[in-house]
Chain A
Amino acid sequence: METLKFDLATKPLREVNQFLHGDASGLDGKTVEIENPNGAHNIAVGLKADVQVTIKGHAGYYAAGMNQLAKVVVEGSVGSGVAENMMSGHVHVKGFASNAAGATANGGLLVIDGDAGLRTAIALKGADIVVGGSVGSFSAFMAQAGNLVILGDAGEGLGDSIYEARLFVRGTVKSLGADCEEKTMGAEERKILVDLLAKSGHKDVSPDSFKLYGSARNLYNFHVDNAGAY
């Protein structure tokens, strides 16, 4: 397979991104390597083709944001907002991720091997996110749909004001946010977890070591006891 190499030490990022935004039929099936990312922002954002992109080092903010179809691998850490609003495809961070990883992501799979920062999966809308380490506070805030799997621990306020996303946590949860509660893991949820563990390189991890959290659905409807407040 043909591999195209770009070196950000010599080539402007805008030209690399414009190449990756080119005619999808010319990019499908191609492999692209980006050398010397050195923490630059916006690497491989807005991809719309079935292309494989490997970022050979640490990336800055919004790496692989708004991704569709593409498979993006970061051989290092990422700054804030990795794969934010991803629609489809696969983003794999081999290091750690800063804040708001996978924010508002609609579809696709985001795998982070290390820890993820605060507000991971905030307003998640349907994507799957697997974090090999721990996540910071306020993760899955107002998450609407999709799955967040955390192999480590979760910080404060996990799943605050959550809608229908599923949160699988293997470690400890410092505290749950408003209207987030532990759920019984049924066969359907267990299958989702097993599949995600297999897809993210954790097939040997037992699904039995996880607890499931989701919405208590108390915030869905107006509570009559609050009528006096108006």
Chain B
Amino acid sequence: MCGIVGLLVKNQKMRANIGELMLPMLIGMTERGPDSAGLAIFGAPVAADSRKFSLFSGEEDFNWVKLGHDFEKHLSTKATIAPKANHAVLTTSLEPETVKAWIKDNYPNLHLLSVGQLMDIYKDVGTPAEVAARYDFKNFSGSHLVGHTRMATESAITPAHAHPFTAGEDWCLVHNGSLSNANTIRRKLQHEGIAFETDNDTEAACRFLQWRMREGDDLETALNHGFDELDGFYTLLMGTSDQLALVRDPYGCKPAMIAEHDDYVAIASEFRSLAHLPDIKNAKVFEPSPKEMYVWKL
């Protein structure tokens, strides 16, 4: 199974409370995905010359402050580190390649979850309520977000296998469904020089889109290639710096519901994750058609 949720808040005043609005959406999808959960939140941008690096450590009580000091000392630079349990967001003006190489050399067990100016990613094993409490999802502010609750069917239950996945800066994807040709796609993309972090089928879809966009496709063209090449069942929800995008496979095997309101656009696998939203009675609630692309801009 798996559950997906997305929320794009149009009303500026409500953006401070996006975490609180979202929390019942994520917890509402617990039955669809009880083993792991994750969230990509698009918040206030960092300075124009800086980037945020979302990091994850499998170790309990990882010393994030020490990592921050090491980073500044080794690279003779200024950086900030904002830890939250097993996650931390490192903000620096150094180039991603420099940061990635430094992490690989000095902290090889750390996972780099995302890079961007707006987006932070948190994902971990546990029920959606547990993961949300661990990382304080409730107090997040921001303009839009993409969330996922996972019921693993094809690969292990680890934080790295949880969603969202990223493919490029400020770009993430969550998936409900399963791909039957993920291994074929992975082999093909490895020949194109694309590196994989897990054997997860969603990562294969994510890297496929990353590859298409690297080859010059815009998101819509990349997804049209996806319809041709991704074999399986999927509802995919993607987040970029200024938009959310949703597609369902041509057979409509996996669900989605959309609520469009003057104040927000909310997406979830099922209506029960939308029912609590403010003034939902006056929202336009509908089911997206298969093989159609839906895009909402900020």
Contacts and interface: CB of A to CB of B under 8 A. Distances in A.
A118 B288 CA distance: 12
Contacts of A137: 251-252, 290
B101 interface: no
Contact of A38 (B252, B255, B272, B289): B272
A67 interface: no
A46 interface: no
Contacts of B273: 39
Nearest to B272: A39
A39 B275 contact: yes
A140 to B, nearest CB: 16
Contacts of B270: 39, 60-61, 79
A61 B287 CA distance: 14
Contact of B271 (A58, A99, A117, A118): A58
Contacts of A138: 251
B252 A99 contact: yes
B271 to A, nearest CB: 3
Nearest to B275: A38
A136 B252 contact: yes
Contacts of A57: 275
A3 B255 CA distance: 35
B275 A136 contact: no
A213 interface: no
A57 B275 CA distance: 10
A113 to B, nearest CB: 14
B283 to A, nearest CB: 11
Nearest to A78: B271
B contact residues, range:
10 to 19
A137 B253 CA distance: 11
Interface string B232-276: 000000000000000000011001000000000000001111111
Interface string A37-74: 01110000000000000000110110000000000000
Given A38-B275, A39-B274, A137-B290, A58 B285 contact: yes
Contacts of B196: none
A96 to B, nearest CB: 7
Contact of A60 (B272, B285, B289, B290): B272
A34 to B, nearest CB: 14
Interface-centre pick from B252, B285, B289 (highest chain A CB count, 10 A): B252
B286 interface: yes
A118 B275 contact: no
Nearest to A61: B270
B25 to A, nearest CB: 12
Interface string B28-46: 0000000000000000000
A80 interface: yes
6 contacts: A38-B275, A79-B255, A96-B286, A99-B252, A136-B289, A138-B251
Q: Which 6 A-B pairs have the closest CB atoms?
A: A39-B271, A39-B272, A38-B275, A118-B252, A58-B271, A39-B275
Given A40-B272, A77-B285, A117-B287, 17 more contacts: A38-B272, A38-B276, A39-B271, A39-B272, A39-B273, A57-B275, A60-B271, A60-B272, A61-B270, A77-B287, A79-B271, A96-B286, A98-B255, A117-B252, A136-B290, A137-B290, A138-B251
